[in-house]
Amino acid sequence: MRTANSWAAVVLVGLGAVVAQSFGRFTYSVLLPAIRNDLDHSNTVAGLLGTTNVLAYLVGTFVVASLTTRFPLLAVLRSGFAFSLAGIALAAVAPNVFVLGIALFSMGFGGALIWVPSPAIAAAAVGPHRRGLAVGAIGGGVGIGIVVTGQLARVARNRSGDSAWRDVYRIDLALGIVIVIAIVLLLRHSQNAPSRQRVGGAGFGILRQMPGWIPITGAYVTYGFSYLIAISFLTSRLEDDAGFSEGLASTMFTLVGIGAIVGGVLMGVVAGRFGERRTLVTGYVVFAIALAGVLTGVVGVVAASSVVIGLMFGGLPSVIIGYVVQNTSPEAFGPSFAAATFAFGLAQVTSPQLGGLIADITGGFTLVFVAAIGFALAGAATSSRLPT
């Protein structure tokens, strides 16, 4: 599918990523302080809820590794929306932590079914020479969703206090329904019949055939630890430790989204010029520096750091995904990327709970961000082992 409407397909896939990632995952991150204050006053419980979401994402990647060899990628993507929208709808009326946990699980599972096929669908729409740009544009969609969510959270909490977090999910649901209707009606993707090959071990049997699979998977895993700790607890760190107001903390989260809008495209262009290895090593080091900037608590430094965090948040996975796209066949991409995402998901299952536990033990979020910095530097070391 390489028509004049090819970029329209990329836009639609990017909007789907908004539902999967921005609404289904990162809305909880920006609302975490409000949800914690309204339902439960424990950072550990708040981290456990975040873990529930990413645990479902992990389960979803295991399932999607098999689904992509049996069903067309577009069919798998569409099926994910049923779970994501159902979870968002349940969160919009959740009366307690238990119900919210079920909602977050549904969102996480659906998010995996949407996200894993998305890069291949976008890349196929524009052809081989613009694959990196298309994959980066999907990350831009996630950034736009984060901007929207951050501003919705700021307005809702300013008007109605912490209990208004459900209103944000209600608006997410309305926007998500419109997006899904557009995708079902307009998005098309042609592919060969699924191979129906055995994927073995969540797709790792196929992933191991890709050159550099160990360092690129390691880079994805360390990204999972570092970014999710930072994103999950950014507003909590700023409100609880640095004394930022609710509105100012939400604005910083919005700046992360603004950076993410251009991060994927920017890093894709840089990787095309300097190679994935140099781009990832440099990106992880810059990410670590930006995370350290958050610890200063100085508004100007935090603002600049938030933008850079967004750039790396959108850019690093785009480079990683672009590497997998370029080094696998269309038939092998689904299970290969699912396997890499499964490893990435293992990191995500651990990181929110780890961050919440550290915060409760230490009474603050300084060491939480120190841990995120350590994982980012580990990502630079791992990426340095990629083939030239």
Residue found under tokens 């990106």: 283
Q: How high is the pLDDT of residue 5?
A: 64
Whole-angstrom distance, CA of residue 355 vs CA of residue 42: 12
In the chain, which residue ranges form alpha helices assigned H by DSSP? 6-17, 27-39, 43-67, 73-91, 97-115, 118-126, 131-160, 165-186, 204-207, 213-236, 246-274, 276-294, 299-326, 330-362, 366-383
Question: Residue type at 17?
Answer: A
Q: Identify which of 225-234, 277-286, 313-322, 359-368 has the greatest average pLDDT.
A: 277-286
Q: How high is the pLDDT of residue 41?
A: 67
- Of the pLDDT bands very low, low, confident and very high (cuts 50, 70, 90), residue 230 is confident
Domains in the chain: ranges and CATH: 6-188+201-383 (1.20.1250.20)
% pLDDT > 70, the chain:
94
Q: How high is the pLDDT of residue 360?
A: 85
Distance of CA 192 to the CA centre of its chain: 28
Q: How high is the pLDDT of residue 119?
A: 84
Q: How high is the pLDDT of residue 217?
A: 92
Rounded mean pLDDT, 28-57: 82
% pLDDT > 90, the chain:
37
Whole-angstrom distance, CA of residue 117 vs CA of residue 360: 37
In tens, the pLDDT along 89-101 reads: 999 999 999 999 9
Q: How high is the pLDDT of residue 1?
A: 40
Q: In this model, does residue 208 exceed pLDDT 90?
A: no
Q: In this model, does residue 3 exceed pLDDT 50?
A: no
Q: How high is the pLDDT of residue 277?
A: 93
User: In the structure encoding, which two tokens stand for residue 309, read together?
Assistant: 């965090």
